[in-house]
Structure 1
């Protein structure tokens, strides 16, 4: 039961909160378009599918299939906070949602990949 609760907490923390942030940020910037709601739903559903695939499949050591949901949430927050034009925010959020459910392999941030992962986190938080 612990793995299911972990996935549920990840979905709320890294799927629902970025989706709500996209919608609220769009409303406060008076760009409340249906596209933002669709992008927010895409992030939430992609996170759900990503976590379901993660718990049901086994990958070879050292890689994830699809962008991990914490990195995706961090990227969505960064894209929205950059105050880019509406179309670029929409494109960025939908691209992140696609990367979560794609077959792209991401290395686990350990060993030689730890430094690039930390740099990515610092760059996103700095943005």
Structure 2
């Protein structure tokens, strides 16, 4: 059957996501890591838009084509591209292959996370089971562009991020328009040329990085506390 039978406008947005991830990898091979980081953040925007477009056009994904192309795009942009960026930004002097091990962990955990997502389709409307994979791009991209980047710290953070992706921690889905708007503005501002923002060139990336870190840290604490309360002994 013709490929046009399966595709919709939303899938074109997913392809733009994958294309951004591929261009990020190309920039990494050319040594332009700043532009590579911006391309993976651009991919996050496209990833957010494809679901919105699908809902707007009332897309009925009868064959699961949209879900699959979205996941395949995600593994390029939020698995392979961040892994390559981390690998190339870290000097292995003193710790040979450590950057390679963490980069590989990102890809493996990303594959496992997306495969689980496609099986259970994160049935709840208000939460993700495990950290959503676009966070790898948000945290590494914003950290790299923040002016605060340190490769050793990035290795630790991305190792934790990888394990959180395959955890059973419930991460909320933010649908509030104000939260989405602020996050989108920060991502777009981070993508702007530094000379355009003059003295505040690193501020959007710093704010974005801090917000993502809070999301990474606070949500597991709340989730584990909630589980502890629910499973604790009854006090009479």
TM over 0.5: yes
Q: Name the structure 2 match of 1:104.
A: 169
8 Å CA contact retained: 2:82, 2:136? no
Per the TM alignment, residue 50 of structure 1 is displaced from its structure 2 partner at its CA by 0.8
**Are 1:17 and 2:110 an aligned pair?**
no
Name which of structure 1's ranges 1-10 and 74-83 shifts more when overlaid on structure 2. Answer: 74-83
Gapped regions of structure 2 (runs ≥ 5): 1-64, 191-204, 207-236
Q: Deviations over 1:57-87 (max 9, x none)?
A: 143221001111112221133345532262x
What does 1:43-82 correspond to in 2, within 5 Å? 43-57=106-120, 58-80=122-144, 82=148
8 Å CA contact retained: 2:128, 2:171? yes
Higher relative contact order (Cα pairs below 8 Å, separated by 6+ residues)? 1
- Report the 3-state secondary structure (helix = DSSP H, G, I; strand = E; otherwise coil) of the residue aligned with 1:106: strand
8 Å CA contact retained: 2:75, 2:110? yes
Gapped regions of structure 1 (runs ≥ 5): none
**CA gap 1:85/1:7 in 2 versus in 1, 3 angstroms:** closer
8 Å CA contact retained: 1:15, 1:47? yes
Q: Deviations over 1:11-55 (max 9, x none)?
A: 0011110001011111xxx34531111100011111111110111
- Report the 3-state secondary structure (helix = DSSP H, G, I; strand = E; otherwise coil) of the residue aligned with 1:64: strand
Name which of structure 1's ranges 92-101 and 2-11 shifts more when overlaid on structure 2. Answer: 2-11
Aligned residues: 121
**Are 1:115 and 2:195 an aligned pair?**
no
Per the normalisation by structure 2, the TM-score is 0.45
Per the TM alignment, residue 115 of structure 1 is displaced from its structure 2 partner at its CA by 1.4
Q: How far, CA to CA, are the matches of 1:78 and 1:12 in structure 2?
A: 18
Per the normalisation by structure 1, the TM-score is 0.80
Per the TM alignment, residue 56 of structure 1 is displaced from its structure 2 partner at its CA by 0.3
